[in-house]
Structure 1
Amino acid sequence: MFIKKYFEQFSTDEVRETKGRTITETDIVIHAGQSGDFFPHHMDEEWCKTQPFKKRIAHGTLIFTVAIGLTAELVNEVSMTYGYDRLRFLAPVFIGDTLHVEVSIKEMKDHKKPGFGLVTELVQAFNQSGQLVMVCDHILLVHKKEA
């Protein structure tokens, strides 16, 4: 769905939650092929049995991609991604884990370019047990409403 939400229409008390998405073995295999990351942590079940988590873990970059994808429920025609900051992977994600994301408005400030503002969203991905597995700041460049 397309919307137009201008800088002034954002508020730091906004919070939204996405639907869930289960991580599959297919996700891991496809991501390995696309990224070139075939580290045994993701691909070698037998080797992983000798490691602390005892099973394969999803790529951090896969978790980031899925988490951000879950937040893309609406297309805001007057904003675009400016970048991401403070990305951290706080817990492993395994095949069969279901993620959901909570997005809250963390900060709003003017941009140096007149007519624009920066909106920083705090993006937090949780597994099915409510454990925080990934966090980052998503920075949006948003048009200000014309006077």
Structure 2
Amino acid sequence: MSDATNDGTNDGMKTIGIGFHFEDLPVGTRFKTLGRTITEADLVAFVNLSWLTEELFTNADQRGGMAIRGRVVPGALVYSCAEGLLTPSMQDTGLAFLHAELNVKGPTFVGDTIHVECEVIEARPTSKPGRGLVRTSNRVVNQRGETVLAYNPLRMLKGRSGG
């Protein structure tokens, strides 16, 4: 075994948990994340942090007159959880989040378990060596197989040759 490892140290140990490099993600690559259940505590913490004080999210007693039944969560929370689920795929290799279009496709409720399904739809090197741009088509899917949110982030990732 070589003394140098993939993290640049000379301790003889490999580092696990490093995300995809640009070269690992040609167009057509598909992967999905593990799942995560969205809890009441997640909703309360997110609403308090973001000040999204709309009664849809904060008033359990007034649910009877609202169009959506159940304890619905903000699309921004669903997106935030999706990005958290994707973090391992770009740990130590992600350089920048550059752009995305985002569409909420349906409601997500407290107790729903979501995962993210991704397909690489664009991959190209940047003008600066050692990095590339990757756009994925991301679908956030609940435990019933329903797509509740879709977005297409463009990210800058390190290449294997530097960056």
Q: Does 1:15 align with 2:30?
A: yes
Structure 1 residue 4, shift from structure 2 partner: 6.4
* Alpha carbons of structure 1 residues 20 and 78: separation in structure 2 relative to 1, 3 Å: closer
Larger displacement relative to structure 2 (21-30 or 44-53): 44-53
2:144 paired residue number: 129
1:69 paired residue number: 84
Identity %: 27
**Which TM-score applies when normalising by structure 1?**
0.87
Paired with 1:96 and 1:16, the residues of 2 have a C-alpha distance of 24
Could you say what the CA RMSD is over the residues aligned between the two structures, in angstroms? 2.1
Q: 1:45 aligns with which of 60, 71, 75?
A: 60
Runs of 5+ in structure 2 lacking a partner?
1-15
Q: Does 1:142 align with 2:142?
A: no
* Alpha carbons of structure 1 residues 4 and 134: separation in structure 2 relative to 1, 3 Å: closer
* Alpha carbons of structure 1 residues 5 and 54: separation in structure 2 relative to 1, 3 Å: closer
Q: 1:85 aligns with which of 100, 114, 130?
A: 100
* Alpha carbons of structure 1 residues 5 and 99: separation in structure 2 relative to 1, 3 Å: closer
Instruction: Give the secondary structure class of the aligned counterpart of 1:53.
Output: coil
* Alpha carbons of structure 1 residues 50 and 8: separation in structure 2 relative to 1, 3 Å: same
Structure 1 residue 124, shift from structure 2 partner: 0.9
**Number of residue pairs aligned between Structure 1 and Structure 2:** 147
Q: Does 1:30 align with 2:45?
A: yes
Q: Give runs of ≥4 in structure 1 deviating > 6 Å.
A: none
Q: Is the 8 A contact 1:81 1:138 kept in 2?
A: no
* Alpha carbons of structure 1 residues 54 and 7: separation in structure 2 relative to 1, 3 Å: closer
**Which TM-score applies when normalising by structure 2?**
0.79
Q: Does 1:96 align with 2:96?
A: no
Paired with 1:69 and 1:47, the residues of 2 have a C-alpha distance of 31
Structure 1 residue 137, shift from structure 2 partner: 1.3
**Bigger Rg, which one:** 2
Instruction: Give the secondary structure class of the aligned counterpart of 1:3.
Output: coil
Instruction: Give the secondary structure class of the aligned counterpart of 1:73.
Output: helix
* Alpha carbons of structure 1 residues 118 and 54: separation in structure 2 relative to 1, 3 Å: same
Instruction: Give the secondary structure class of the aligned counterpart of 2:156.
Output: strand
Structure that is richer in strand per residue: 1
Instruction: State the one-letter code of the partner of 2:126.
Output: H
Runs of 5+ in structure 1 lacking a partner?
none
